[in-house]
A and B are shown apart, each in its own frame.
Chain A
Amino acid sequence: MGRNGYFVVNKKGTGMMTQHDKITELSEIFEINASEIVPGKSLDSLRWDSMAMLSVIAMANEKCGKRISGAEIKKMRTIQDILDVLD
């Protein structure tokens, strides 16, 4: 709860993510081992469907307060593209 007893709309997110956090989150989203999350990996080689896109948007929003637009998410081609917006 924030000022006046109302909840605070969380615009800033909860803070920074370490590289380890990012890899862990992505391995859960794509359901593969963390060792397989390598920056150059093509998203086309993974299950990069609408659910995965929503999961990445949700993770960025919750874990580091970043808003990824529909246009941005659809331009992403590699794991690196996702890692970049989480910085």
Chain B
Amino acid sequence: MPELQRNFKVKFNDFMKAGDVSIQIQSILKAIGFDPDLIRRVSVCAYESEMNVVMHGGDGDVSLIVGPKDITVHVRDDGPGIENTEQAFQEGYSTATHEHREMGFGAGMGLPNIKKSADTVEVNSKKGKGTHLKISFNVE
């Protein structure tokens, strides 16, 4: 049984709101009183994933699950899916548009940053079938 679960909606192409869900997640974790470094790692992963949904994924949702020994963030979208997962995790590989780059994103660091910050990352994606990212963190 999770100690806490929160679900959020993320809207495709809504750059004015993009990142808002991750800031809410950060606030929840701060209120619980987790270690600042852990909060930063979870927030960064949530934010990179949220931006991926806004930029590439189509509409999606984010769930935060806080358990006794771990924190898990699920990010699901109904977008075009990732064609080559291995390539998507390579630093610098990007399918971003000019508009995304103007926003300061699209450097091909999203998934690599998530991998670096999380304890485990599972990607379930098929072309045309959307993407599900499960990002987990151990709580000591």
Chain A complexes with chain B:
no
Instruction: Using CB atoms and an 8 Å cutoff, list the residues of chain B in contact with chain A.
Output: none
Instruction: Using CB atoms and an 8 Å cutoff, list the residues of chain A in contact with chain B.
Output: none
